[in-house]
Structure 1
Amino acid sequence: MTVQSPPPILDRLAELGTGGPPPSIDSIWIDGTARPADGGQTLVVEDPSTESVLANVSRGGAADVDAAAKSARAALDGSWATITPQARGNLLLALAQLIDDNADRLARLETLDVGKPLSQARSDMAGAAATLRYNAGAADKLEGISVPLGPDFVDFTELEPLGVTAHIMPWNYPLGMAMRSLAPALAAGCTAILKPAEQTPLTTLVLAELAVQAGIPAGVVNVVTGLGEEAGAALTEHPSVAGVTFTGSVETGRRVGAAAGGALKPAVLELGGKNPMIVFDDADLERAVESAIDGAFDNCGQVCSSVSRLLLHARIRAPFLERFVERASARRVAAGLDDADLGPLVSAAQHDKVIGHIESAIRDGARLCLGGGRPAGMDKGHFIAPTVFDEVNPSSPIAREETFGPVVTAFGFSDEAEALALANGLPYGLVAGIHTADIDRALRFARGLAAGSVWINGWFIGGVQAPTGGIKDSGFGRERGLAGIHNYLSIKNIGVQFHRQANAGDDASA
């Protein structure tokens, strides 16, 4: 009897949500093939719109991480090292084309896994392909420098791959965040081990499969699905891993950073944000409101760089909030495949956290302007209506901690000094925004803001070309742009001293 191989992972996952029983997927991807976890354990992947089981995947641990690290190291020293930088770039372009070719199926899978509206998932797929193309173009342009030491020396630098890199990703943009660090790592010549969030591993598995189809050698891209405290911790501590990239909470980021520092390996950490949008009294209110709506409720507020605090000049506070609440109340909430404005939160745990913040704000005396819980008639799924608070107690958790949901708090100020103190008064420093018609004020104020990115008269400004990252408790290091590629490069200095020859007129026998 002939034993038939299972269909490719994307083909199997494309059937999710069509009514059949949830499949069990071997999701430890090592050396170009899928296998079960070494210990045989599994994880449940849930559809946050319905709370039904989508699939069961492998729960990897230290043994699986070790196998992935050996595979990545062998590829780094073998087939991947023999490929020219231009050829690496061409392989990334081929992977980008495969993502474009499968964009609809990938977007549907991302929507089922995360809950986000389908149109937003399609945009994520386009962004992943664009990230690959940007980094592909840089692969053969990573040049060293010549150092002028004088006539007796030649001194220069070469940029070498950092080595085997670990990528521990969040659940809000699974494929997009994977690509944000994977693409520059591959462009730099590194190999990689991806650890997707346990809630949202599915498109990362397809990514590994597509990488092989694109011609990227086996072992260059490996995936270990599992829990952070098991697979993630093992990755950070593994001696073959030369560098770690992590996006997630401040609490987990501290542990990752401490473990990487103890092992003397570099880490890039993008952590939480409690991002202020400061609106001055000369701002274009309509433009500022639209910008705030997009910034607050895109991806159901599950974005590190979401607008979470509105700092409003006293003269425009009331009219701004009136417009903002009116626009927010019109945002439609539905299952991701229904492609409304907002989908559900990713999990029951995240839903409970956001509800906890809302309830504590009400207890602390905040004025609830809109929302405050589940939308009417939506008893199933992890849904929360767009929620707006004013007159928030500054010591309330909702005023000081990252909520990571469709919840916005409003505060007033009377002058620039008060606005700057409010904006900089928390330990976060990821993003801040300014709306004003006065360019002098905008640039002056931007220099005073303690944030890795400052956006003026807009939100979510930038793209794959623009470096992003935080300061203070929001992490360190920069991703995207050319700065992002340098996370995965090591500088080697090479010096040559000439043998000094006698001058032509010298007597060599003297």
Structure 2
Amino acid sequence: MSGPADALVAEVMTTGTLTGLPQGHYIGGRFVPGLSGNTMESFDPGRGRAFARFAAGDAADVDAAVAAARTALCGPWRQMGPAERGRILARAASLLRERAARFAVVESLDSGKRLTEAEGDLRGVARAFEYYAGAADKLHGDSLPLGRNYVGFTTEEPIGVAAQIIPWNYPLSTVARGIAPALAAGCTVVAKPAEQTPFTALMLAELLHEAGLPDGVLNVVTGTGAQAGAPLVAHPGIDHITFTGSVATGTAVMRAAAQHVTRLVLELGGKSPLVVLADCDMDAAVNGVIEAIYENAGQICSAGSRLVLDRAIAVAFMSRLTTRVKGLRIGHGLTNPDLGPVNSLRQLETIDGHVRRAVAAGNRVYAGAAIAKPEAGGSGWFYEPTIIEARGADDPLVQEEIFGPVLAVQIVDGADEALAAANATSYALVAGIYSKNITDALRFARDVDAGQVFINEWFAGGIEVPFGGNRKSGFGREKGMAGLRSYCKLKSVVARI
């Protein structure tokens, strides 16, 4: 092992924790203790034990954070030009690259993901701030052709105070893809990271303040969804909510937002199909399937959790795929195995419950299907990389989001059946296809119901590509210029001359 993260990894593996982690909420440009004085534990998923404590916030802390954000909205931030906002975001991108090792180690320790994945996340986060730094002064309205006696134009104005409810699977990436465009647009922000993964959001807030962000423009309140998240989304001082999480919680967020007619962007997960047709590049497709479902132990809303496979190549393809999957190494995320732990004991039990029910129902198991105990030992939360064949389109393996390293296989005959299978759930987040026939691939992209489609590479694209879903996967878009406009309100102006 070599590189800038070495000493940090060694400290964690030796002591079980990391010194210098943030303390308190980040409100008004500084760390402050929770008003109640209550704290919570954060757990290392690779060892299954607590490594640090953090503030357990409640409605009083949320009130303080929203007040700070509303004050900042009318302060120097409001007078600052778009180019200067961009310069702050650009400085933040530079600082993130300088401190990427520490951010990545904390992200891996807190979430459980492999260090290499966390390092990739950091590169993406820095790029997100760089992208929106360049976009801040490119946001403009339109001239309206009303005839020679009128001048008409539109302007894009910041929506106001934006709340960010952040999930535990991609703590830093998700907070960045919301905060960066919100700040570029001129909004102020109150973020509530998941109680399982609070630390990198707090670290990011401090870094942005160092980059020049005025006090109160970005605030972070930690705590549970019930005690801190619910008061935030129901707060009358919030003008916009970006929520990433489950359908059930998203529905509750919508109800709370309706009380104040608060704008929403919801990303609620998926059960995304990865179609592999008979004419695919089989090696590339096998690699793509493994990345699509086993990255971050399958805990990705856009995971390719359904393999929709052409019967003509099913035997050969499944043989290759199963051999590869059975050889994946499991271990603590900081040791860079092939597959890390799942985030919590609760999530481990949820995954195991789905698989046990499928096995009891008679589904064919190709690989895995059990809680894992890595050879390196430890008492962390691990699940074997699993492949199970679905019994039909109505199989719970097809219809329900498992959010773990479990691949459901659906065997179909040709492109038309593959499309029908792809569209046969209530989710519509992403979809992908492996085929050498560009006509078949583009027809699939045209006809599948999904917010994003990958062709011959899963997770293709980056911050430039708008992301979001349809149906039960939510609505609204993050990333790209569409994500920037999510934090704007359009004003039309007409003058008679």
Q: TM-score, normalised by structure 2?
A: 0.95
1:365 aligns with 2:362: yes
Please point out which of 19, 24, 35 is paired with 2:15: 19
- Tell me the distance in 2 between the aligned counterparts of 1:460 and 1:313: 21
1:55 aligns with 2:52: yes
Q: Secondary structure at the match of 1:495?
A: strand
- Kindly indicate whether the alpha-carbon contact (under 8 Å) linking 2:393 and 2:421 is maintained by their aligned counterparts in 1: no
Give 2:461's aligned residue: 462
Which residue identity is paired with 2:261? L
1:441 aligns with 2:440: yes
Which residue identity is paired with 1:442? A
Q: Number of residues paired by the alignment?
A: 488
Mapping for residues 295-444 of structure 1, pairs under 5 Å: 295-376=292-373, 377=375, 378=377, 380-392=379-391, 394-444=393-443
Give 2:113's aligned residue: 116
Which residue identity is paired with 1:334? G
- Tell me the distance in 1 between the aligned counterparts of 2:9 and 2:201: 12
Which residue identity is paired with 1:383? F
- Kindly indicate whether the alpha-carbon contact (under 8 Å) linking 1:17 and 1:54 is maintained by their aligned counterparts in 2: no
Which residue identity is paired with 2:490? I
1:75 aligns with 2:78: no
Give 1:250's aligned residue: 247
Give 2:4's aligned residue: none
- Tell me the distance in 2 between the aligned counterparts of 1:248 and 1:391: 25
- Tell me the distance in 2 between the aligned counterparts of 1:313 and 1:129: 39
Which residue identity is paired with 1:410? V
Give 2:3's aligned residue: none
- Kindly indicate whether the alpha-carbon contact (under 8 Å) linking 1:139 and 1:187 is maintained by their aligned counterparts in 2: yes
Which residue identity is paired with 2:363? A
Which residue identity is paired with 1:485? L
Which residue identity is paired with 1:199? Q
Which residue identity is paired with 1:491? L
Which residue identity is paired with 2:424? G
Please point out which of 275, 288, 296 is paired with 2:272: 275
- Tell me the distance in 2 between the aligned counterparts of 1:222 and 1:90: 20
1:39 aligns with 2:44: no
Which residue identity is paired with 1:387? T
CA deviations on 1:481-507 (whole Å, 9 max, x unpaired) are: 000000001111122112xxxxxxxxx
- Kindly indicate whether the alpha-carbon contact (under 8 Å) linking 2:393 and 2:424 is maintained by their aligned counterparts in 1: no
- Tell me the distance in 1 between the aligned counterparts of 2:257 and 2:313: 47
Give 1:450's aligned residue: 449
Residues 412, 20 of structure 1: alpha-carbon distance in 2 compared, 3 angstrom cutoff: closer
Unpaired runs of at least 5, structure 1? 1-10, 499-510
Shifted more, 368-377 versus 104-113: the winner is 368-377
Q: TM-score, normalised by structure 1?
A: 0.92
Deviation at 1:338? 0.5
Shifted more, 14-23 versus 368-377: the winner is 14-23
Q: Secondary structure at the match of 2:85?
A: helix
Residues 18, 263 of structure 1: alpha-carbon distance in 2 compared, 3 angstrom cutoff: farther
Which residue identity is paired with 2:489? S
Shifted more, 390-399 versus 28-37: the winner is 390-399
Which residue identity is paired with 1:269? L
CA deviations on 1:223-278 (whole Å, 9 max, x unpaired) are: 00011122111111111110000111111111112222332111111111111111
Residues 18, 495 of structure 1: alpha-carbon distance in 2 compared, 3 angstrom cutoff: farther
Mapping for residues 468-479 of structure 1, pairs under 5 Å: 468-479=467-478
Shifted more, 336-345 versus 21-30: the winner is 21-30
Q: Secondary structure at the match of 2:248?
A: helix
Unpaired runs of at least 5, structure 2? 1-6
Mapping for residues 142-153 of structure 1, pairs under 5 Å: 142-153=139-150
CA deviations on 1:166-214 (whole Å, 9 max, x unpaired) are: 0001111111110011000000000001100000001111111111111
Larger Rg: 1
CA deviations on 1:462-483 (whole Å, 9 max, x unpaired) are: 1000001100100001111000
Which residue identity is paired with 2:401? E
CA deviations on 1:269-326 (whole Å, 9 max, x unpaired) are: 1111111111111112111111111111111111111111111111111111111111
